[in-house]
Structures are given as C-alpha cells and as structure tokens.
C-alpha cells in the first residue's frame, strides 16, 4: 500500500526544470533512501512532498488523498513531519520549547510536556532540555530537529541530510533511532552518507537531473551501472 505517491510531478524555476515527470511511490512501513548528485533535485522534490512549494505539473497523494495543493501545516496535521537540510531551530528558545512548538503542530492535548520529555530523551539530548538551542553544537541542533519530528508521532518522517555534522558516535545512535522510529512510521531519508543509506534503507530511489535514474534494494542500486556512472563513482 502506498502511503505517499506522486504522478508526473514537475517543478520549473524560470528556465530550469528542477524536477521532471517524477512518479514516486513510498510504501507503508518502509525506510526509503533518496540519493543523487548535488543539484539532482532532491531538496526540491522533498519541498514538493512537504508542501513548501507548489508543483508546476503533476500530483501528490498521501494515504490515497490528493494533497497537491494542501499547505504544509495541513500536511503536518495529516501525519507528515520533516527535518530540513539547514537547521531551522529557534536559537533563543530552549530545547524543550522548540520541541513543544513542534508537538503543538500535531497535538492539542494536555500531555504535550510528557511527549516533549520522551522525544528529547529518545534522540539522546536528555541533559539539555533548558539549554537555549543556539548554544548547542551543530550536530546537537540536528538531533534537536529530529526530536521535533519524532514528537509529532508522524505516519511519515522525512529527513533531509540528518547526519550532517554528527560525530561517528552520534551517527551510530541516529541509525538506532531511525530503526526504532520505523517500527511506527514510514521514513524517507535524503542522505549523502552512503554507509548510512545502505545500512538503513529497505529501498533506494536515485535522482539525477531531476528525474528518477534507478530504484531498488541497496544491493540492486549499488550494482546498477547507470548509478555507478552518475553518482557512486564507478566505471
């Protein structure tokens, strides 16, 4: 069953076509990796899925419902959550206050505080709830963003370059977190760290010049000659 799907999805910026005629299907309960060279259109595609920008052509569906023109905050309420390639935390607010803001996008109930504490502990920041977000290291700000996604208990969690700035130890913890989240949610992971993608993903989509170049299991993608030529450095 497709949780998220697109048909003919296209985005043009002036004379540039950043995403072209993409048919994409994300099945429930899977971890999907989205990879490709710089400029392949990955962030534009994610922005289309999240509702941050409108497509030039094509459609987006979530749980069988057409959400092509649904604004981002409505998609969050429907069960989508995402973290950005560039950190988007509120530097002057504490860790707990940032996570609480994210929680309230999704929940309107009395136990937000308990959800916040659980999410902070889950990503590995249990000692930092009252620390201003701006005082965190870049890597810890990335973890804070993950907490802001996790706290929403989404049906779909989209993460754009989540391991950027993380130490090796934090990356190991991140992989465990994603496996844990995937027991409850579908995950779309946009990531340059190939070791992370190959270890975590059930399926991988490769984007190149705004189009899908290949899809398959990690082994299938690794062995694909077109992918090797365009992205993985093969012959």
Domains and CATH numbers, the chain: 1-68+188-235 (3.40.50.300)
At residue 16, φ and ψ (nearest 5 deg) are: -100, 130
**Which among 85, 67, 83 is positioned nearest to 75, based on CA atoms?**
67
Across-strand partners of 123?
Answer: none
Query: Does pLDDT of 43 surpass 50?
Result: yes
Q: What is the pLDDT of residues 125-170, one digit of tens each?
A: 878 889 999 999 888 888 898 899 999 999 999 998 888 888 888 8
Residue 85's pLDDT is 57
Burial class (CB in 10 A: 0-12, 13-18, 19+), 30: middle
Residue 233's pLDDT is 60
Per-residue pLDDT band at 173 (split at 50, 70, 90): confident
Q: How far apart are CA 34 and CA 59, in angstroms?
A: 19
Tokens coding 87: 């950190």
In this structure, the number of other CB atoms found within 10 A of the CB of residue 14 comes to 5
């Amino acid at each position: 069953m497709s949780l998220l799907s697109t048909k003919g999805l296209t985005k043009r910026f002036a004379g540039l076509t950043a995403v072209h005629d993409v048919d994409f299907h994300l099945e429930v309960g899977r971890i999907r990796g989205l990879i490709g060279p710089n400029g392949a259109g990955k962030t534009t595609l994610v922005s289309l899925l999240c509702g941050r920008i409108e497509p030039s052509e094509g459609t987006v569906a979530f749980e069988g419902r057409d959400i092509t023109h649904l604004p981002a905050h409505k998609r969050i309420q429907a069960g989508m959550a995402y973290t950005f390639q560039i950190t988007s935390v509120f530097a002057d607010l504490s860790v707990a206050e940032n996570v609480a803001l994210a929680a309230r996008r999704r929940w309107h109930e009395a136990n937000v505080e308990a959800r916040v504490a659980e999410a902070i502990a889950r990503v590995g920041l249990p000692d930092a709830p009252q620390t201003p977000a701006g005082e965190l290291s870049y890597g810890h700000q990335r973890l804070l963003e993950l907490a802001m996604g996790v706290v929403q208990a989404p049906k779909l969690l989209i993460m754009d370059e989540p391991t950027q700035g993380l130490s090796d130890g934090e990356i190991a913890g991140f992989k465990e977190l994603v496996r844990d989240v995937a027991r409850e949610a579908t995950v779309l992971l946009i990531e340059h760290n190939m070791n992370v993608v190959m270890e975590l993903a059930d399926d991988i989509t490769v984007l190149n010049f705004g189009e899908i170049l290949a899809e398959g299991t990690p082994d299938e993608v690794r062995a694909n000659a077109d992918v090797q030529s365009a992205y993985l450095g093969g012959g």
